[in-house]
Structure 1
Amino acid sequence: MAKVLFICAGCEHLGVEYISAVLKKHNHQVELFLVPILPEDPYLNIKLIQKKFKYSDFKDKLIKKITDNPPDFVAFSAVTDFYRYANEIAKEIKAKINVPIIFGGIHATTVPEIVITEPHIDMVCLGEGEYAMLELCNRNEEYKNNPLLDIQNIWFKNGSEIKRNSIRSLVEDLDEFPVSDKKLFHDAMPSFKRQYNLASTRGCPFGCTYCCNNALRSIYKEKGKYLRKRSVENVIRELEQNVSKETELVFFRDEVFPYNTQWLQEFADKYPKRVGKPFKLFIHPRMCTPENSRLLRKAGCIYVSVGIQSGNEETRRKYLKRVDTNEQIAAAIKNLKDNNIKVNIDQIAGVPGEGEAELLATAKFYNEIRPNVVTYFWMTLYPNTEIVTTYRELNLITDQDIDKINHGILQSDFLGGSVKFNVKSFSQFRTFLCYLPLVPKWLYALFIKWKLYRFADMNSRFMSSLFPRLVLAPFNRDVKSWKIEIGDWIGRIKYFNKFMRS
C-alpha cells in the first residue's frame, strides 16, 4: 500500500478525483492539500487579504506538515497558471526531505521535457493518469530500488538519466472508471458541495487554436478514440449517489456537452425524474440546434456558456479555427433563448488582426443577438497550442516570451493575459461589451454610433466586467452561481485559517 499526497490550487480538480477513486479502490491512501490563496489570485488579489493571509506563511506551514509526516509520493496537478507556484513549493520540499515528487496535469503533459529537467522533480505524468498512478503505487517498493520504471504515461529521472515511457492507449469505455472521489475535495472545502461538478465527456470534437485539446490531440495520436462519452445511466447513477440537499446547482464541465442528440434524448428523460437539480454547461454554437435546445430545456438546463470569441467571421476563422458564420451563431443563440435558457457568450481580447473596426463590428453583432451575459477574456497563450505559433509568426511575441510561457511564467487573464497590441481598444471594449445586456438594444445602437466605447475604459476588473454580471444575476438565473462563487472565496479563506491552526 502506498500513500499519495496531492497538492492542488484552491479549486476542485476532476482529474485528481478520478485518480484518487482508482487508488482508493485498490487500497492505497490519498491525502490532499489545497493552496487556497496565491499572490496573483484572480479574485482574492486584494491588498488587505494578501496582507492578512500570506502565501509565504501558508507555504512554510504546508512544507512543515509534509516533512513531519512524509508520504510515499507527493503529486502536483498543475495547470500552467499554477505551475510556477507548484514548482516553488516542490523545490522547497525537496530541500527539506528526499520524497519522490511527480508532476501531472496539462502543463506537465504539454511540456514534459521542460518539467522533467527541474532538479527537484523526479517524475512527470503525461495525459490521463488513473492507471499510470495506480501502477506506480502498486510498484512502490520496486521504485525505491529502481527509479527508472517502465510505466506508460510516466517519465522517470534518476540523476542525469531520463526514461521517457510511451503513452498508453486511451480508455474508450469511460464507464469502467469508479465514481470520482468527491469526498477528497468536499472534506477539504465543504463549500464545494453547493455546486456538483462533473464531466460526461473526455475530449473535444473541435480544434480551436487556443485550447489545450489542440495540443492533447497530437499527444494521443493513434492512441484510440479521443472523443468519448459516458453512458447516460453511468452519469445519472453518479448524481444519484452524490447530489444532496446541499447541492444547489449541477455544472457539467464537458468541453461540449450535447454533441450526441440520441444520448441527450435519453438524458432528458432520466435526469428530471432521478436528479432534478438545475444545471448549466458549456456548449458550441453548432450544438445549439432546435432539437438539442428543446431537450436541454426539458432536462432542466437553465444557463449555458457559448464560446464565440469574436464577432468577426474572418479573424475568428483564420486565427481561431472557429468556422461557424455569424448567421449560424445567431440562429444558435435564438434556439437557446426560445427555450428560456440563459446565454452567456465568451469573448476573447487579443485575436490577431483585430482592432477598433473589428471590435466595433463585434459590438454590432452582439447587439443583434442580445446575449444575457458577456464574459470577457484576455488571450492567454499556453504551451504548444497552435495560437502560440501564430503569435510568433506575426511577431506579437518573441522566442523569449515562448520560453516564459513554457516555464509557466505568464500574466493571468485578469491582468491582460499575453496581449501586447491594441491594448487600449481591447480595454475599452471590455467594459463596452460587458455592459451590453444592461442597455436596451436601440440605446446601445446609439452608443455604437456615437463611439461611446472610447470613454468606457475602466481599470477595475470588477466594475468593467463582473459588476454587470452581478446586476443581471437575478434576471439570468445566475444568483445561485454567484452565491456558490462567493461561498468558494470565503471557503478558501476558511481553509487557509484552519490549515494554519492545525
Structure 2
Amino acid sequence: MKDKKEFKVLLVYPNLTMMLVPSLAIGIFTNILKSKEYQVDLFDTTHYVSDENSSPQNRVKFLQAREYDESNDLGIRIKTDLLGDFRKKVTEFQPDLLMYSVVEDCYNQCLALMTEIKDLEIPHIVGGVYPTASPNTCINEPLINCIGIGEGENIITEISEAVRMEKPYDGIPGIWFKSDGKVIRNSRGPLVNLDEGIRPDFSLFDDTRFNRPIGGKIFRTVPIETYRGCPFQCTYCNSPMQVTLAREAKIGNFMRTKDIPLLRTEIATTIANHDPDFFWFVDDSFTARNKAEVFEFCDMYEEFKLPFWFNTRPETTTPEMMQRLKEVGAYRISFGIESGNEQFRKTVLKRNTSNADLIKQFDMLSKSGIAFSLNLIIGLPGETRDLVMDTVRLCKAIHGFDALTVSIFTPYAGTVLREVAVRNGWVDKDHITTHTTYKSALTMPPPYLSSDEIDGLMKVIPLYIYFPESDWDSLKKAEIDNPEGRALLSKYSEIYTRDFLGQDQQNDRKWDIDGASGCKSNTKDSFSITFNSPERITDEELIMLTMQT
C-alpha cells in the first residue's frame, strides 16, 4: 500500500486534433484527485497531428469558420510523435493508475495509446461518454480491463483508493471489470450532487489550450457548466441516453441545475485561477430551463460581464431574455436547426417546432444584437437531396446569422438514429465513428444520399444559402471533384469568404433587402421570407425512420 502523497494518477485525454477549449471533465477530475493529495499529471493529445484534417480545420475548409493561423494566432506548436511521447510520459511519471476519458471519435486513438504501453501492465480505467453508451464493446476489447459507466466524479476516487490500498474492485459502483476471465458488472452509483461545489482545475493543460478563435477574434477561453443533462429527445444526439440510463438504473433525474450562488463562486474562482477573457458554457441547451433561472443567472453574472458563448434552441428564447443576456456579456450563440423540412424534423428528429415559428423567432433574435450561427446536419438517415435543399431554403428565410456550422450525420452509439441506421443495414452495428466533418459512415440506397453526394454537398451548403437560386446550377457543378467543379468552387468560395466570412462579428453589417437571404447583404437574392416545406416522407418511410414496428 502506497502513501497517498506518493500515489500517482495520470489522466489521459485522447482528443481530435485542434479541438480547442480544455476538457471540463479533466478539470473536475484534476481538482478531485489533487484534493485527495495524490500526485496528478495529464497527457493531452489535442496538439498532435493526425492523418486527416480535424473538425476545426474542416470548418475553415468548408467555409463555416473564419481563417486562423494555429501558430501565429493561437501560439500552438503541432506535435508529431504521439505514441512515442505518450510512452515517454508514462515511463518518466511512473503512474500507479491511468485514467482515460474517451468519446467515440477518439476511441481508436485511445486503443493505440493503450497498445503502446501494454507491456508496462499499469492498472487503468476507461471512462467517458463512449464506455457509457457502448459498455459491452469496450469491456470486450482485450486491451481494456476496467471501464467506468456514467459520471466519473465518484468513480475516480473509489478506484484510486482500491488500487492504492491493493483492494478488489467488487464494491465500486459504476464500473465493469475483468476478474479471473469473467466480466463483473457493478451497478451504478448515485448521481453527482452538482451543489457540492467541485470546481474544475485546468492547471495541467498547456497554456495555449485556452486560446480559441471565436467570431473572428482570439480569446482565452474556459468552459463552464451551469446544468447537466438535456430536457429534449433529439434522435441524432446521445444526451437523451444519459437521462434514459439514469432512469433505468433508478438513480434519479439526470437533469440537474447548479445553485446560482455556487455558480458565482465557481466563476469567481476560475477567473482568479486562470484569468480567462471568455467563458464557453457547455450546457446542452442553455436557455432550456425555467425562464426565471436565466434572469437570475444574468443578475449574478452582471458582476463579471466577461463575454460568453452558449448553445441553445431558438424556441426557448424571448426578446426580454436576449436583451438581458446581451447586457451581461452574451457574445455569440449557436442555434440548432439541423433540418429545414418541417415534417422530417418533427417526426424523425423529434424537433417539434414549425418553420413559421422558427422564422419568427430568428426575426426577433436578429434584433437582439447578439451574433449567432446556425447548426445544420446533412446526410441523416433517409435524407434525400430534396430534404437538404429544404434546409437551404429555410436558412435563406432566416435573418441575422453570421456563420453556419454544417455537420455530416455521425451515428454515435446511444442515439436513436444509429439504431435506425443499423436496423436498415446502412451502417455496421460495430462501426466506430470519427468526427462530424468526416466522410459519411452510412451506405444508403437511392433515392437517399450516397456518401459521395454528401461530401459534395458539404463543400457548398453555405454557398447555396448565400447565393441566389439563379446560381444553383453552377453550384451543383461545384459539388463535383473535377477541373470544372474545382474552378467553380474556388470562384464562389472566394466571393463568399471576402464578402461574408471576411468580416468578424464586430463589423457593422448591412442587412438584406426584405425577403432576401438572412446571411448577408445580397441584393441578387429575393427569396421569400416564408418557407413552408412540403411533406416528403411516406408512411412507409416514417415507420422505417422512427423505429416503429
What's the TM-score bracket when you normalise by the shorter of the two chains? 0.7 to 0.9
Q: Does the CA contact (< 8 Å) of 2:230 and 2:240 recur in 1?
A: no
Deviation (angstroms), 1:289:
2.3
Give the one of 196, 199, 203 matched to 1:176.
Answer: 196
Rounded to whole Å, the distance in 1 between the matches of 2:382 and 2:141 is 37
Deviation (angstroms), 1:324:
1.1
Gaps of 5+ in 1: 479-502
Q: Give the TM-score, by structure 1 length.
A: 0.82
Which residue does the alignment assign to 1:335? 364
Alignment of 1:426-437 (within 5 A): 426-435=454-463
Deviation (angstroms), 1:301:
0.9
Alignment of 1:75-94 (within 5 A): 75-94=99-118
Deviation (angstroms), 1:225:
1.8
Which residue does the alignment assign to 1:499? none
Deviation (angstroms), 1:187:
5.0
Which residue does the alignment assign to 1:268? 298
Which residue does the alignment assign to 1:349? 378
Check if 1:155 corresponds to 2:176.
yes
Rounded to whole Å, the distance in 2 between the matches of 1:302 and 1:191 is 16
Deviation digits for residues 326-346 of structure 1, max 9, x if unmatched?
Answer: 112112222221111122111
Counterpart amino acid of residue 341 in structure 1:
I
Which residue does the alignment assign to 1:201? 227
Alignment of 1:229-248 (within 5 A): 229-243=257-271, 247-248=276-277
Alignment of 1:217-236 (within 5 A): 217-221=243-247, 222-236=250-264
RMSD (Å), alpha carbons: 3.0
Counterpart amino acid of residue 174 in structure 1:
L
SS in 1 for 2:223: strand
Which residue does the alignment assign to 2:416? 386
Which residue does the alignment assign to 2:478? 456
Check if 1:402 corresponds to 2:429.
yes
Q: Does the CA contact (< 8 Å) of 1:306 and 1:343 recur in 2?
A: yes
SS in 2 for 1:61: helix
Rounded to whole Å, the distance in 1 between the matches of 2:468 and 2:259 is 45
Rounded to whole Å, the distance in 2 between the matches of 1:252 and 1:458 is 38
Q: Does the CA contact (< 8 Å) of 2:242 and 2:254 recur in 1?
A: no
SS in 1 for 2:154: helix
Q: Does the CA contact (< 8 Å) of 2:456 and 2:479 recur in 1?
A: yes
Rounded to whole Å, the distance in 1 between the matches of 2:381 and 2:494 is 25
Rounded to whole Å, the distance in 1 between the matches of 2:405 and 2:172 is 42
Which residue does the alignment assign to 1:322? 351
Rounded to whole Å, the distance in 1 between the matches of 2:323 and 2:210 is 34
Range moving further from structure 2, 364-373 or 128-137: 364-373
Deviation digits for residues 418-439 of structure 1, max 9, x if unmatched?
Answer: 24442455344434431367x4
Rounded to whole Å, the distance in 1 between the matches of 2:393 and 2:29 is 46
Which residue does the alignment assign to 2:405? 375
Check if 1:14 corresponds to 2:38.
no
Counterpart amino acid of residue 372 in structure 2:
V
Q: Does the CA contact (< 8 Å) of 2:146 and 2:175 recur in 1?
A: yes
Rounded to whole Å, the distance in 2 between the matches of 1:456 and 1:229 is 47
Deviation (angstroms), 1:275:
1.1
Alignment of 1:20-39 (within 5 A): 20-35=30-45, 36-37=47-48, 38-39=50-51
SS in 1 for 2:426: coil
Distance 1:252 1:477, change over 3 A: farther
Rounded to whole Å, the distance in 1 between the matches of 2:79 and 2:504 is 37
Distance 1:466 1:265, change over 3 A: farther
Q: Give the TM-score, by structure 2 length.
A: 0.76
Distance 1:350 1:203, change over 3 A: same
Distance 1:89 1:309, change over 3 A: same
Rounded to whole Å, the distance in 2 between the matches of 1:53 and 1:302 is 29
Counterpart amino acid of residue 154 in structure 1:
I
Distance 1:153 1:177, change over 3 A: farther
Gaps of 5+ in 2: 61-69, 71-76, 213-218, 508-549
Counterpart amino acid of residue 403 in structure 1:
D
Distance 1:298 1:344, change over 3 A: same
SS in 2 for 1:185: coil
Rounded to whole Å, the distance in 2 between the matches of 1:433 and 1:117 is 40
Range moving further from structure 2, 206-215 or 351-360: 351-360
Deviation (angstroms), 1:451:
4.1
Counting matched residue pairs gives 455
Counterpart amino acid of residue 40 in structure 1:
E
Distance 1:137 1:351, change over 3 A: same
Higher share in helix: 1
